Amino acid sequence: MDPLPLARLQFATTTSIHFLFVLVTLGLVTLLVYLQTAAFITRKPVYERMVRFWGTIYLINYVLGIATGIVMEFQFGLNWSGLSRYTGNVFGAPIALETLLAFFLESTLLGMWIFGWHRLRRGAHLALLYGVAITAYLSAFFIMAANAWLQHPVGYEVRDGIAHLTDFTALLTNPTFTMALGHVTSAALLTGGMVLASISAWLMLRRSPDYELLRKSLWIGLVTVTVAGVPLMGFGFAQFGAVGPVQPTKFGDDAAKAQAVADFTARFGPGDYLPPAYANVSLGFMILIGFTLAWSFVMLPLFYRDWIVRLKFPLVIVGLCLPLPFVAAILGWLTREGGRQPWAAYGLLKVEDAVSPISGGVVLASFLGFTALLLTLAVTNWVLIAKRAARGTADPALGRSLADVTAEDDERRPEPALAR
């Protein structure tokens, strides 16, 4: 049993599932920053209730997303020791920075934010959320820098058969990094907006009583989808010009592809150096979904006299569109990662040389186990989010004041027996 296709399939499954959690985390934390800032400035209770409600959904996704990230680290270490050995001195630097930010600093700030309600000054509590958002985006920054190096190795030299980093600045100016980072962060913001809009739409269809909160959430979500869609498409199409010259087999013209194949054949021997057909197919469908989501701006005028609610069918459309950003994200991932095949590091290291020297049976066992675990985490995430949303916005546990908790305890405490 050949371990290579199994290792590739396991990597694709693990990374794509984890990526969906990341999109929601980045998108929702950005919107939470806006909502809590609005609550701080306007002091309107509705904004604080929005922070508490959407913050609870954000936390569910964050916790389970951390678990999927740990699974991803395990499968990476198990299956790709060749890649770690050859590129670890370069690839490991941004990964280490991401780990420090995501698993330590971001989590610490988030914990302080969770337990800081009604204990910290309002400004200090808001500053913690800004810190969570900044570290989340820094985490994405370093992950994308590491991935961009695999797309186009720069700032290194090979000594004793191992790549060594010589110019850290080159990692941050990599042409496959800058446009891709803007594309991914825009996709995350659009996804967060769609989560707000879709959940709000379904709750409004169920006639949830908190009309003011849901209407504001629906408006903010649709505006976010509309606004984020502009840079999303801009950064997306800009990558053709940035990536084409450095990955000619992916986006180059026929002449550039033929020349690249000839060069690779001369350096590495005969082989299939053209990307698989699914990379182009997934790109086409991703672009189609992007244009489909452009309908969001059409919904905005329907807020006049609340036609979006009175007509009902716009709410149904918004609710049904919830999966589209996630499907587009996976398609984009297939284009970016699958499109550089057969390279683990483009033009430098083949995937067949990057895979660990382990048996196919071991890879199959880990693939089945990790995939089952990841699917369980993903299903659990959406079940918990759906249940939390279905309970409505009346009283989320997040941000509950000490007075509220004390009052509930008093209500639940049994009446003392009458003295005889």
3-state SS, one letter per residue, for 192-219: HHHHHHHHHHHHHHCCCCCHHHHHHHHH
197 alpha carbon, distance to own chain's centre: 18
> Is 22 part of any domain?
yes
Q: Is residue 415 scored above 70 in pLDDT? A: no
> Is 416 part of any domain?
no
49 alpha carbon, distance to own chain's centre: 25
Instruction: Give yes or no for a contact between 57 and 381, defined as CB atoms under 8 angstroms apart.
Output: no
> Is 80 part of any domain?
yes
DSSP 140-165: HHHHHHHHHHHHS--SEEEETTEEEE
Query: Span 277-297, mean pLDDT?
Result: 90
Query: Span 409-415, mean pLDDT?
Result: 50
Largest distance between two CA atoms of the chain: 100
Convert the pLDDT of each residue in 198-218 to its tens digit: 999 999 998 878 889 999 999
Distance CA 333, CA 195 (A): 20
Query: Span 112-139, mean pLDDT?
Result: 94
Question: Which candidate, 322, 316, 324, places its Cα nearest to that of 202?
Answer: 316
> Is 420 part of any domain?
no
Query: Span 246-274, mean pLDDT?
Result: 90
Please list, in sequence order, all residues whose beta carbon lies within 8 angstroms of the beta carbon of residue 251, skipping any fewer than 6 positions away. 239, 240, 243, 244
Instruction: Give yes or no for a contact between 152 and 174, defined as CB atoms under 8 angstroms apart.
Output: yes
pTM (2 d.p.): 0.90
Instruction: Give yes or no for a contact between 133 and 33, defined as CB atoms under 8 angstroms apart.
Output: yes
Query: Span 69-86, mean pLDDT?
Result: 86
User: Which pLDDT band holds residue 419 (cuts at 50, 70, 90)?
Assistant: very low
pLDDT at 408: 46
Q: Which residue has the tokens 């001369």?
A: 266
Q: Which residue has the tokens 């199409």?
A: 237
Distance CA 86, CA 163 (A): 6
Tally of CB atoms within 10 A around 348: 18
Does 59 or 416 have the greater pLDDT score? 59
> Is 418 part of any domain?
no
Convert the pLDDT of each residue in 323-375 to its tens digit: 999 999 999 999 998 888 899 999 999 999 999 988 889 999 999 999 999 99
Query: Span 230-241, mean pLDDT?
Result: 92
> Is 411 part of any domain?
no
Q: Is the dihedral of CA 145, 148, 149, 155 positive or negative?
A: negative
Please list, in sequence order, all residues whose beta carbon lies within 8 angstroms of the beta carbon of residue 111, skipping any fewer than 6 positions away. none
User: Which pLDDT band holds residue 416 (cuts at 50, 70, 90)?
Assistant: very low
**How many domains does one find in the chain?**
1
- Give me the percent of the chain exceeding a pLDDT of 90: 60
Question: Which candidate, 152, 332, 349, places its Cα nearest to that of 245?
Answer: 152
Q: Is residue 88 scored above 70 in pLDDT? A: yes
Question: What would the two tokens of residue 80 be?
Answer: 């790709």
Question: What would the two tokens of residue 16 be?
Answer: 């794509």
Q: Which domain holds residue 64?
A: 3-391
Tally of CB atoms within 10 A around 70: 10
Instruction: Give yes or no for a contact between 393 and 213, defined as CB atoms under 8 angstroms apart.
Output: yes
Q: Is residue 167 scored above 80 in pLDDT? A: yes
> Is 273 part of any domain?
yes
Q: Is the dihedral of CA 383, 389, 394, 397 positive or negative?
A: positive
| DSSP tag of 304 | G
Partners of residue 88 on adjacent β-strands: none
> Is 120 part of any domain?
yes
Q: Is residue 380 scored above 90 in pLDDT? A: yes
Q: Is residue 407 scored above 50 in pLDDT? A: no
| DSSP tag of 274 | S
Distance CA 165, CA 86 (A): 12
